[in-house]
Chains A and B, each alone.
Chain A
Amino acid sequence: MNRLRFYLQLGFTLWVCLFMIVPVIMSVMAGLTTNYFVGLESGLTLRWVQEVWALYADTIWLSIRLALACLCFTVLLGVPAAYGLLRSKRRWANAMEEALLLPVAIPGLATALALLLAYGHMRGFRESWLFILIGHVLFTLPFMIRPVLAVMRGARLAELEEAAASLGAGFRQRFLGVVVPNCVGGILAGALMVVTLSIGEFNITWMLHTPLNKTLPVGLADSYASMRLEIGSAYTLLFLAMTLPLLVVIQWAGRVANRSRTP
């Protein structure tokens, strides 16, 4: 019986790997082979990676800039917003939380279209990367607010604040000295989501981008559509190389933060 369960689990795991890991490996290999249709015997090369770098380096930088700017905005907006929700009546807080989730539920194309209809005529704004940034912030904000709010709800924050107040701390001092440091775990968890989602975001970005403002996923779609398969695959390789270290760093920061404050 136990043996059977083991094999079933193993089978399931392998099956998942088949869809999660194998395609990634295939893609990476495709980006490194000289001719994908001939196969590995055609030899390995970095030529495609170099070509992608020459063509699309600016999309990578833009994506990273967008992700970091998006992170800044979601922290600056999301932490006070979560605090506001924590302090407001439960009924209102729930309604607000749902409203904040709307940009995630609505197709990105629709959100982008709405943004274009409302502000598309402001040319300077529409053509700048800030227009895309707004789309990203809309989409990622709930992913910052939710974990921060969850941590705040679990942290006896009200009592900590009362203690700080009894010691003479005003609102600003309490918020920056007690509230924010005690939801760092939530902020880091949110940061991981926000950066991941912003770097990979395609729907909204595709609608909002201009030829001069392409992000990495849009560039990727572009290259798959118009160039050799090897170039698109090499692009994927670069994408992985750029984002994986970033995610690992955020994960690590989250672990360190959690370790130092587990009660």
Chain B
Amino acid sequence: MTSTSLTLEGCGRTFPGGQVALHPLDLTVAAGETLVLLGPSGCGKTTTLRIISGLESPDAGGRVRFGERDVTALPIEKRDVGMVFQHYALFPNMNVADNITYGLRIKGLSRDTIRQRLDEVMAMVDLQGFGARRIHELSGGQKQRVALARAIAVRPKILLFDEPLAALDAKLRDRLRLEIGQLLRKLGITAVYVTHDQAEAMALGDRIAVMQAGRIAQLATPREIYHRPTSIFVADFIGAVNRLEVHATLADGLLRVSGGELRAPHLAGAAAVYCRPEDIQIAADGNADVRGKVRQSLFLGQSQRLLVDLGDNACLQVETASRRRWRTEDPIGLRLPPEALFHPERHAYPTKELEANHA
């Protein structure tokens, strides 16, 4: 499939009541790239998707381009997009095959082409033999595959996903996420994927745009977003993050915090440091940076999460292997390696050498 790049220029959206759903936004998605719009509800991600699809128009001045072509004035049916909805939006009056071929019939393609295209996409989504099934006979996962097949059957320029897995249970969601990822890579199609699920965003996005209150808070690769978040909102929205107040910056790049001292030359002068629970290591007394007591342990199966009290109301969440048993009040020593410490708003991250050390 030939893919098209997508450009939004100054696309904002103000609702009739004056409420701003989306502040003017510039965005480019390269041909063949998958961009995930991630954020809590009401952050403007769905509005952005609807502007790209043509279901909504941007405020005056906004422009939507598919490749070189300005499609701002075109309604959705003239834009050549494929769309997958949260609640599938399959036509209950048609069987699986008729749903998938609906767009092809609308385009007036020949019978043979339709037949051939149907077999092709049914194989792609692993639904061979389901053509004659009625929609209400399908499971949620199968429904979403039919919806996916229906969207790609018309060979759209851009594929749009509106929280397609939100209505499915966890196990199925994981599997379908994997399948969608493979399919997107195989098709090499430009895709925009809206979700509020960070795991989905990480797994599927070539880049992720984390959105907050109608703006893009950060637009970067999943790795960058996770390890170098540029705002506390992003750090907090993706995964869990600890914030530890710094009481004083000492000599030699040492920071005094509750329960001990941390080595973090790149954070000299910061009022706080941030780190992810899984980057904290449990250390023997001699090696520990900070010491505290276990206040709570949460067994998660593949790991356990400890809440460690460092005194002065300072707490750290620590993710560690699940075999060792921790009890409340157990004393514990923790090592917070310098490469795990960062401060989003100061844009202070470990240097490349520090990260290399860690590896």
Contacts and interface: CB of A to CB of B under 8 A. Distances in A.
A162 interface: yes
Interface in B132-165: 134-136, 147, 150-151, 154, 160
A13 interface: no
B18 interface: no
A173 B106 contact: yes
A184 B93 CA distance: 9
Contacts of A163: 83, 85, 89-91, 147, 150
A165 interface: yes
B92 A263 contact: yes
Nearest to A171: B77
B89 A160 contact: yes
A178 B106 CA distance: 12
Secondary structure of the B contact surface, majority rule: mixed
Nearest to A182: B93
B102 interface: yes
Interface string B99-129: 0001100110000000000000000000000
Which 9 pairs, one residue from A and one from B, show the smallest C-beta to C-beta distance?
Answer: A167-B103, A163-B89, A166-B83, A181-B93, A159-B89, A165-B76, A168-B106, A165-B77, A263-B136
Interface string A159-200: 110111111111001000110011010000000000000000
A166 B77 contact: yes
A262 B106 CA distance: 26
B77 A170 contact: yes
A156 interface: yes
A166 B93 contact: no
Contacts of B151: 166-167
Nearest to A161: B89
Contacts of B89: 156, 159-160, 162-163
A164 B82 contact: no
B43 interface: no
Contacts of A226: none
A263 B167 CA distance: 15
Contacts of A3: none
B52 to A, nearest CB: 11
A262 B93 CA distance: 10
23 contacts: A156-B89, A160-B89, A162-B55, A162-B85, A163-B150, A164-B91, A164-B106, A165-B75, A166-B77, A166-B82, A166-B160, A167-B77, A167-B150, A167-B154, A168-B77, A168-B78, A168-B107, A168-B154, A169-B102, A177-B102, A178-B93, A260-B134, A261-B92
A99 to B, nearest CB: 25
Interface of B: 53, 55, 75-78, 80-83, 85, 87, 89-93, 102-103, 106-107, 134-136, 147, 150-151, 154, 160
A159 B87 contact: yes
Contacts of A159: 85, 87, 89
Contact of A164 (B81, B102, B147): B102
Size bin of chain A's contact surface: 20 to 34
B189 to A, nearest CB: 14
Given A159-B89, A162-B85, A163-B150, 5 more contacts: A160-B89, A163-B90, A164-B91, A167-B151, A168-B154
A164 B106 CA distance: 9
A261 B160 CA distance: 27
Contacts of B91: 160, 163-164, 178, 181-182
Looking at A155, A168, A260, which has the most chain B CB atoms within 10 Å of its CB? A168
Contacts of B90: 163
Contacts of A169: 77, 102-103, 106
Contacts of B103: 167-169
Contact of B76 (A162, A181, A182, A263): A162
A145 B106 CA distance: 29
Nearest to A181: B93
A261 B137 CA distance: 10
Contacts of A168: 77-78, 80, 103, 106-107, 154
A160 B78 CA distance: 17
Nearest to A178: B91
Contacts of B85: 159, 162-163
A161 to B, nearest CB: 9
B136 to A, nearest CB: 5
B93 A261 contact: yes
B124 to A, nearest CB: 17
Contacts of A156: 87, 89
Contacts of A181: 91, 93
